Structures are given as C-alpha cells and as structure tokens.
Homo-oligomer: A and B are copies of this chain.
C-alpha cells in the first residue's frame, strides 16, 4: 500500500485583485519557507472562525480579540513553532509579530492578524521574524500566493491552494485560498490554518455569515485524527477591488453566488487536506442518510470518520462493513438493521440485514484501492443526512507522530 504521491494543484496561483503575498525562510525551521505574509492594498472586510478549544494559542487570542473590528489589511503567519503554552511571553511575541508586520506594511497594528503553527511549548524566536519582515514585505507580489501556501506548512507533504470565480452584478469576482494541516485535525476546527481572499466587495456582517455557513459544511466536516487544535484558524479577507456593488445581505442573489464560490474553494481545500492527512494514502468521503434526526446523522458520520478500525480497514483495502455498523452502534445511533444499507465505492456490501456476498466484496475491495473512496450508509430510521471528509489511518501516521519532536 504505497503512499500515492500528491502534487500541488498547479504551478502557482495569482491572487484576487488588490492582494499581494509572499513567503521567506526566517530561520524558525532548519530549512524551507517558514514565514508568510498576505496583504491587501485597500482596507478589507475580515471574517474569521477559530478553534473552540478551551486551551488556545496566543496568536488565536490576538486575532480573535481584533476581529470585532471586522476590517484588516493582512495576515502574518509562521510555521515551525505554534506559540502555544507560553503564557504572557507568548502573548507579547504574538503582538510583536503583528506590530512588526504592520510597520513594514505602513498600516495600523490592529489591522494585522497573526497565526502560528508548529510545536507547542517552545518560545517563538521573535527577533528572527522581525529581522525577516522587511525583506518579506519587499518581496510581496500579486502572483505568488503559492509561496505563502508553502511557508505555512508543517507536516503536510504538499502545499494546498484553490480558487473559484463568479459574476456578481456584471463584475467578475475571484476567491482564492490556501490551507495547511495534516494532523491534529478534528471536526470543530483543526490544527488547520486556512486563509481566503476575495476581491468581492462584501460587508463585514455578510462576510461573516457566509464564512460561518461555508465553514460548517467544509472545514468542520474534516477529520484526520479526531484531535482539535489550540491554533485552528480560518480567516477571510474581502477587499472590494473587483468593483461590484457591496454585498450587504445574506439573501441576495449576489451573496448566494459569492457563497457558492467560497464553498467551492473551501471544499477543494478540505479535500486536499484530507488527502494529505498525516500518513494517509486515501481520501475518504462519508455520507450518512436515513438518520432519525440531524444530530444522529452527524454523530454516525463523525464516528465512521474517526473510527480507528474503519480507517485501518480502508488502509488495508478491506471492505469491512462490520466495523462500520459496529461504530455506528457504539455511538448509540438508531438504525433498522433490515433497512440499513452500506455501500463502499458505490458497491452495496450489506443490505437486508446481511452481507451481499463475496462477489460484491471483491468488487468493493477493488474500489478501495483507488485514491478516493466513498462510504455511503443508509440507516432506514428517518430522513436526516450528514457528510464527513477524512483519510485512512496508516503505519506512517503512527510513525510521524511517534517521532515528531524527537
């Protein structure tokens, strides 16, 4: 079961109008890019969603505190050290990082947000970051969002970006985004960072509503290992440079189109994250339908997506419907065994209270050798459904996480 090599989605990615980005090596990591900056030429509406953990990193505290302003000029992100668990010293470091970036951009310190990702419990080498920022600010260009995408990585094997465009009131608007995070990823925001940029004009309130809606259907449907992080952050900047009349209500046709484009980018990123989960060989989409109510649909889908036994079975290309039913049952989800159906890669393997036999099993096993697989479960207990994105659990996952800090 060799790891299928992932490739970045394209050579490079151009930002929406009025944004510039860059990434440099400042020396937190031994090698590779480790400091990213993305800036808007104009003040932009900003929306964010963060980890729901009761233990959060200093960068999350700072960005969350600044977001009620709902406008901003940019975001500075480092990888290598997460700036978590460092108390007052960590808070000073996060503030200093934002201040230095604001100075190089010539904007208000409050207009810069920050994020950090990497090991927990080590001090951020803030002098290295400050020393590198002028060089980074000078290198910013509208054409290299990919450099920022590379500079935020930790254990990811490939950078991730995605884009979409749509027409709003006669103007083309673009949405582009990057993301990182291949471990410590669970349903409610993960050690996952994602930054989204659009040249659409959107009021802060409408932007926030669109982000919440999309995050609930995409980022919050992703699980690699059932672990939420102290640093999960998704930020969305909208600078209005596309020139559309500003979107001010959630119900307008323009906002719906914008939200669809945002959803497209976010789902694309989430699929890239799942596929590049630590040690993963397979992107798994879980669809549960026929649940008694939305809570049970959600619980069943999350249990399947987080089940070590299901995830190791996928790794082993084993069409093991027993483990799927077992984990649903252990989650105390109501199902009607006679009406329940399990499909793997479109092949029914359990139906009418029993296995559909060895031929179906063989066909399903073949489907499981593809790099993307689908688990579809109909419970026959009601009309609710839910979806999750995840990956398989492999010996490499354990190896990566047993050796991370040593």
Which residues on A are within 8 Å of B, measured CB to CB?
1, 51-56, 84-87, 119-121, 183-184, 186, 188, 225-230, 306-309, 312-313, 315-318, 320-323, 325-330, 332-335, 337-338, 350, 353-355, 393-395, 397-399, 401-406
Whether the Cβ atoms of A325 and B85 lie closer than 8 Å is yes
Whether the Cβ atoms of A227 and B309 lie closer than 8 Å is yes
Question: Which residue in chain B gives the minimum CB-CB distance to A355?
Answer: B121
Assuming the A-B contacts A86-B354, A309-B184, A322-B85, are A55 and B402 also in contact, with contact meaning beta carbons closer than 8 angstroms in the complex? no
- Complex Cα spacing A399 to B397, Å: 12
Closest CB of chain B to A319's CB: distance in Å?
A: 9
Whether the Cβ atoms of A325 and B225 lie closer than 8 Å is no
Assuming the A-B contacts A309-B225, A332-B53, are A87 and B402 also in contact, with contact meaning beta carbons closer than 8 angstroms in the complex? no
- Complex Cα spacing A308 to B404, Å: 13
Q: Which B residues are in CB contact (< 8 Å) with A230?
A: 325-326, 329
Q: Which B residues are in CB contact (< 8 Å) with A184?
A: 309, 323, 326
Whether the Cβ atoms of A399 and B403 lie closer than 8 Å is no
Closest CB of chain B to A12's CB: distance in Å?
A: 33
Complex copy number for this chain: 2
Whether the Cβ atoms of A350 and B85 lie closer than 8 Å is yes
Q: Which B residues are in CB contact (< 8 Å) with A308?
A: 225-227, 308, 397, 401
* Closest 9 pairs (CB-CB, A-B): A55-B329, A120-B322, A228-B330, A316-B402, A312-B401, A53-B329, A87-B353, A395-B395, A225-B308
Whether the Cβ atoms of A402 and B354 lie closer than 8 Å is no
Whether the Cβ atoms of A54 and B121 lie closer than 8 Å is no
- Complex Cα spacing A306 to B56, Å: 20
Question: Which residue in chain B gives the minimum CB-CB distance to A224?
Answer: B308
Whether the Cβ atoms of B53 and A321 lie closer than 8 Å is no
- Complex Cα spacing A297 to B184, Å: 22
Whether the Cβ atoms of A398 and B402 lie closer than 8 Å is no
Whether the Cβ atoms of B227 and A322 lie closer than 8 Å is no
- Complex Cα spacing A404 to B320, Å: 10
Q: Which B residues are in CB contact (< 8 Å) with A355?
A: 85, 121
Closest CB of chain B to A182's CB: distance in Å?
A: 12
Interface pairs (21), CB distance under 8 Å: A1-B402, A55-B325, A55-B329, A55-B335, A55-B337, A56-B329, A120-B325, A121-B322, A184-B326, A186-B330, A226-B306, A227-B309, A227-B326, A227-B327, A228-B327, A308-B308, A316-B402, A317-B406, A395-B395, A395-B402, A398-B398
